[in-house]
Amino acid sequence: MSKHHVTTKINGDETEFLCETDETLLDVLRNQLGLTGTKEGCSTGDCGACSVTVDGRLVCSCLMLGVEANGKSIGTIEGMAKGEKLHPLQEKFLSHAALQCGICTPGFLVAAKALLDKNPDPSETEVRYWLAGNLCRCTGYDKIVRAVMDAAAEMRGA
Amino acid sequence: MRYEAPATVDQAVALLSAAGPDGRVMAGGTDLLVQVRTDVLDPGVIIDIKGIAELRQITEEAGAFRVGAAVTGAELKEHPKLKSVWPGVVEAANLIGSTQVQGRATMGGNLCNGSPAADSVPALIAAGAKAVIAGPKGRREVAVEDVMLAPRKLSIGRDEIITAFVLPARPARSSDAYLRFIPRTEMDIAVVGCGVSLTLGADGTCTAARLALGAVAEKPLLVTAAQDVLVGKRIDEAVLDKLGAAASAACRPIDDKRGTKEFRVKIAAVLARRVAQIALERAEGKQ
């Protein structure tokens, strides 16, 4: 069985890879492309650690086959900072101490950015529901929610 | 495992026919890929239907909506009109999983996964939705309540796929609603789910109604007795009491880790009342 030849865009860069049908996008990102910022948690779509965007839509990369990325535009945590300059969400996660072990953090950042791209002024309730599919076992979520609200305010120029 | 991404319904049906029992249709993949990952399923061919344009569209024709079977929950919610006409269907579909899952999960998949607790299914049944099914002999329409037979068992053939759901045209003063009971606020599987769709006459009398329940039997149920309770009446407390009793009477649940039989029977009545009230307020234009 020959591998699939996939052409895709990852964080704006044209990328090609070969994959088997049963390799998920998460497998491809981590094991072939060295993009290990996207984390593997549950592998069943419950924890959100593997969150990426596909054509701007937030998804779990563990619930998508690598071959499905053909012709799509993928966004991962590696595309979030511009060189050395962190995204406001990343800055606020640091200043609010919104992480401890850090495994869930890339997923939270990608998910939070997808929310703010769509809704620059979410209520706290909207933030909590949007992020309900991202699990953190360390922080208790309050610091994460505060960091997202603060980043949103800063990005609006408030 | 092979991967096929047909561009037309006919190609998808031909691939499924050729694959026989080895073939699996994938829409959003949020249930299928978990089952493959955990070795519950080991399909020889995955047939990805997301590349079929007609399965990704929502169209309106003479007041009826045709929702492609591979339209995602996120797309349903973003549709400019669907949510105002069928708020219950959209809110039910949007209870499936997280934001991430909503980006992929579809109502076609929710039904074909064959879970009695699927959230979108009671809402579709209450709405009187028909599933459009394509197979080697052409297309047919089946009421959604007749698609699932038992857990993981469907009435549709191995070489057939659901291409769309048709939501019928709505008279004025109609609406619907869906609620489920879960012990938390998000990200859970229904202990009981309930959908109600109703229409009111000019004088406020209920002229049409359908109620469906999830997670209280081997498949989602249309509660026909609810129609008899509601139609011809003004929906007051006494009618809601009778509606709750009809919902409870229809339940034939199991005990499991999510709830006991007794609890499910009781909650079915509570949800039936609440959902009917929400649908009523919406139909009256209060919500």
One domain, residues A15 and A39? yes
Nearest residue, CB atoms, A45 vs list B34, B48, B74: B34
Angle at B152 between CA B147 and CA B153, to 5 degrees: 45
User: Model confidence at A115, in pLDDT bands (50, 70, 90)?
Assistant: very high
State whether A113 and A62 are in the same domain.
Answer: no
CA A138 to chain CA centroid, nearest Å: 18
Stated pTM of the model = 0.96
Number of domains composing chain A = 2
Alpha-carbon gap: A60 to the closest alpha carbon of chain B (Å): 6
CB pair distance less than 8 Å for B100 and A54: no
Is residue A150 located within the same domain as residue A92? yes
Is pLDDT of A152 > 70?
A: yes
Q: Would you say B164 and B188 are in contact if contact means Cβ atoms under 8 Å apart?
A: no
- A58–B100 CB contact, under 8 Å: yes
- Decide: residue B283, CB within 10 A, 0-12 exposed, 13-18 middle, 19+ buried: buried
For residue B53, give both structure tokens. Answer: 């344009």
Q: Check: CB of residue A58 under 8 Å from CB of residue A75.
A: no
What phi and psi values does residue A68 have, to the nearest 5 degrees? -70, -10
Give the nearest chain A residue to B51 (CA atoms). Answer: A68
Q: Do A110 and A75 sit in the same domain of this protein?
A: no
- Residue A85 DSSP one-character state: B
Q: What is the ipTM of this complex?
A: 0.96
Indicate the residue among A26, A61, A79 that finishes a domain. Answer: A79
pLDDT at residue B269 in the model? 98
- Domains belonging to chain B, first-starting first, are 174-283 (3.30.390.50)
User: How far is it, in rounded angstroms, from Cα B245 to Cα A151?
Assistant: 50
Residue A28 is classified by DSSP as I
Structural domain range at position A105: 88-155
- C-alpha–C-alpha distance, residues A108 and B176, integer Å: 34
Amino acid identity of B191?
Answer: V
B-chain residues within 8 Å CB-CB of A48? 98, 100
Q: Running DSSP on this structure, what letter comes out for residue B213?
A: E
Same domain, A55 and A92: no
Contacts of B38 in chain A (CB under 8 A): 44
Do residue A9 and residue A75 come from a single domain? Answer: yes
B62-106 confidence digits (pLDDT tens): 999 999 999 999 999 999 999 999 999 999 999 999 999 999 999
A9-21 pLDDT per residue, tens: 999 999 999 999 9
Mean pLDDT of A124-136: 97
- Residue A119 and residue A98 in one domain: yes
Q: Are residues A101 and A143 located together in one domain of the fold?
A: yes
pLDDT for A1 beyond 90: no
Best mutation target among B100, B102, B106, B185 (most A Cβ atoms within 10 Å) is B100
CB-based contacts of B285: which residues, under 8 Å, 6+ apart? B173
| Claim to verify: residue A94 and residue A141 sit in the same structural domain | yes
Could you report the per-residue pLDDT of B164-209, keeping only the tens digit for each?
A: 999 999 999 999 999 999 998 888 999 999 999 999 999 999 999 9
CA pair distance B125, B58, nearest whole angstrom? 18
Same domain for A97 and A31 = no
